[in-house]
């Protein structure tokens, strides 16, 4: 008696093929934007070096660079949510309307990170001012930053925001019930706020490690990506918290852990030397 053979799957319809191509294109666009942002960040970091404080940047220039950094660091991990919402937009509109709605979503997301960028600028400015008067305070600032980041990894707010970012489908259904007025902008802002809530603790370790420290940025981006997308993300998040707590203990005695708080000659400074 011959075994039953599994029936062949039906051929994919043109609509399914189009949807698959659109999905692949969306992933390619997100990856390309992140790659271009990384290229810009690396080029800027090469010119600026690693220095404490705001590195002489005013608020507009800092926010521009901050947004480029957020595109580089956050777009890989936010891609699943962004693409899912963009596909929902595509089913409801087309052409210029679809482009405008997608742009609103991205703008809302980046607006949330812009607000946090203003806080980061104030924190860096205060750090730079304090170090000018008390250079030895850098080790305690670094220890405090690692301590806050480590403790936040275990906080209920971190777990709530991480749960949202890891399982966004329920929220996306809720977003569909938002009032139509500026819905996509508000959806992007809402999800961006959850991302800030999930990741701000990781971002503040760039104060001791250096805001323009490319290796530190890449490490933080990798942590964010794994936290949100790996099935063991919550356990990984706790492990990262333990690492930060260990760094908080070591920081006062190991200055090499604090390149962002130690005055260092930048490439631009070297070029200006006679």
Q: What is the pLDDT of residue 102?
A: 79
Question: Domain-by-domain residue ranges, the chain?
Answer: 19-267
Return the closest-CA partner of residue 164 out of 183, 181, 187, 180.
187
Find the Cα–Cα–Cα–Cα dihedral 63, 69, 75, 81, rounded to 10°.
Answer: -40
The whole-model pTM stands at 0.82
pLDDT tens per residue across span 215-257 = 999 999 999 999 988 888 889 999 999 999 999 999 999 888 8
Q: What is the pLDDT of residue 44?
A: 87
CB count within 10 Å of CB 25 equals 11
Q: Is the dihedral of CA 90, 67, 217, 187 positive or negative?
A: negative
Ranges of the chain whose pLDDT falls below 70: 1-23, 89-95, 168-181, 263-274
Q: What distance in Å separates the CA atoms of residue 248 and residue 185, rounded to the nearest whole number?
A: 38
Q: What distance in Å separates the CA atoms of residue 77 and residue 165, rounded to the nearest whole number?
A: 9
Are residues 267 and 261 in contact, defined by beta-carbon separation less than 8 angstroms? no
Percent of the chain scored above 70 by pLDDT?
80
Q: What is the pLDDT of residue 18?
A: 40
Q: What distance in Å separates the CA atoms of residue 89 and residue 234, rounded to the nearest whole number?
A: 30
CA distances from 112 to 108, 117, 178 (A): 7, 9, 18
- Radius of gyration of the chain from its Cα atoms, rounded to whole angstroms: 22
């Amino acid at each position: 008696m011959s075994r039953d053979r599994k029936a062949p799957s039906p051929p994919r319809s043109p609509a399914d093929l189009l949807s698959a191509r659109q999905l692949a294109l969306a992933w390619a666009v997100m990856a390309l934007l992140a790659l271009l942002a990384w290229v810009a960040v690396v080029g800027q970091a090469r010119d600026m070096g690693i220095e404490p404080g705001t590195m002489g940047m005013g608020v507009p220039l800092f926010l521009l660079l901050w947004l480029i950094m957020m595109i580089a660091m956050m777009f890989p991990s936010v891609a699943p949510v962004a693409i899912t919402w963009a596909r929902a937009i595509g089913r409801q509109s087309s052409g210029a309307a679809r482009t405008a709605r997608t742009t609103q979503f991205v703008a809302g997301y980046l607006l949330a990170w812009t607000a946090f960028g203003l806080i980061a600028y104030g924190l860096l400015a205060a750090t730079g001012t304090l170090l000018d008067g008390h250079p030895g305070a850098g080790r305690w600032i670094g220890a405090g930053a690692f301590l806050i980041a480590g403790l936040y990894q275990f906080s209920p707010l971190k777990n709530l925001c991480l749960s949202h970012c890891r399982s966004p489908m329920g929220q996306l259904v809720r977003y569909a019930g938002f009032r139509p007025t500026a819905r996509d902008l508000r959806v992007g802002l809402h999800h961006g706020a959850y991302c800030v809530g999930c990741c701000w603790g990781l971002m503040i370790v760039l104060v001791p490690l250096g805001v323009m420290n490319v290796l530190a940025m890449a490490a933080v981006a990798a942590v964010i990506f794994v936290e949100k997308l790996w099935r063991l993300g919550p356990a990984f998040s706790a492990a990262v918290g333990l690492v930060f707590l260990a760094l908080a203990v070591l920081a006062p005695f190991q200055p090499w852990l604090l390149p962002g708080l130690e005055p260092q000659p930048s490439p631009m400074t070297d070029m200006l030397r006679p």
